Structure 1
């Protein structure tokens, strides 16, 4: 089972349907014969842990592969840390760049607590280095100010055994094409 965790931050009008549904990812994965869940995150939750707890309550039975997209990577990692027995693999797709003062200025003051962390918002680098499950990183190609290449490289260097997947633009970017991502995620799901 693949559980897709969409991007967005605080008051971004993003949900699972816009990120994974309308872009064709959910339909493409189901056409490949894969079981897929794409729940909505609890936006304005106040912490990444609260978002992870919200998703944990609705996790399907059995071990899952979590696919975090953009800021959804922070939630996916927090979820994997909270319920490691329920997660058999983790894909960090288009990880959002943290520690960028210019980007951080765009975040509303009430969401400032979400900016703390290391390479990923809401996750200490030591926690990333302590992950003991298969992890794959899918960079944004081409990179953009929110999804920098150095973020993917830092994750690949921090997480033991992490592998790089072929990159692509993130949804709902106009250049995003679901077919390539579907093929990559289907391969990951079948190998885990």
Structure 2
């Protein structure tokens, strides 16, 4: 009997009210599409007001299944998933970063900083969440040390928050990284047209 692969889905958002696993993965149909393709799917909620990416990774570790799994992260869930993979390489068999949020863009960082502050984040929390190199919350040196197979799924078309240069830089940093066909991001309204090919790409990488 073929062993069923478990996918741990890490949703996007950063201190955004209402942005949880239901809004990002379930209602747009991603969970159901992956289950239809034969996967067990675990989609926990990230803490809404986490003070650090380390806290996020610690929270996600509690949702890990008994057997090594494939972790699929979206947007601002990507830093938390990378931190999890670095801390628990025994538990993460493969890592897919979908629509990784772009770091280091002054306009994007200013807008994100303002949103975090408006949501009640202290200045030191804002600085810590925005810090990083190619990816928030992680240095390039740490990224280069990833030992798990890495997949990258770009936003297509790109937008200021999910720029193609982020995927290209990650592909250069991590030897052997696989760049998958791009698509729009949930929960954007136009994601519905891309759901099938998005799920197919995720499934192909996870297998």
What pairs up with 1:13-92 in 2 under 5 angstroms?
Answer: 13-92=18-97
TM-score (norm 1): 0.96
1:126 matched to which residue of 2? 141
Moved over 6 A (4+): none
SS of residue matched to 1:67 = strand
**Structure 2 contact 96–151 (Cα < 8 Å) conserved:** yes
**Structure 1 contact 68–92 (Cα < 8 Å) conserved:** yes
Structure having the higher Rg: 2
Alignment deviations for residues 33-75 of structure 1 (CA, whole Å, 9 cap, x no partner)? 1111111011211101101101101211110111110011111
Alignment deviations for residues 134-182 of structure 1 (CA, whole Å, 9 cap, x no partner)? 0010000000010001001000000111010000011011211321111
Q: Residues of 1 paired with 2:108 and 2:206: CA distance? A: 33
What pairs up with 1:131-170 in 2 under 5 angstroms?
Answer: 131-170=146-185
Deviation of 1:184 (Å): 0.9
Structure 2: unaligned runs, 5 residues or longer: 1-5
What is the RMSD computed on CA atoms of the aligned residues?
A: 1.0
TM-score (norm 2): 0.89
Alignment size in residue pairs: 190
1:188 matched to which residue of 2? 205
Q: Residues of 1 paired with 2:75 and 2:102: CA distance? A: 8
2:101 matched to which residue of 1? 96
Deviation of 1:81 (Å): 0.7
Deviation of 1:12 (Å): 4.6
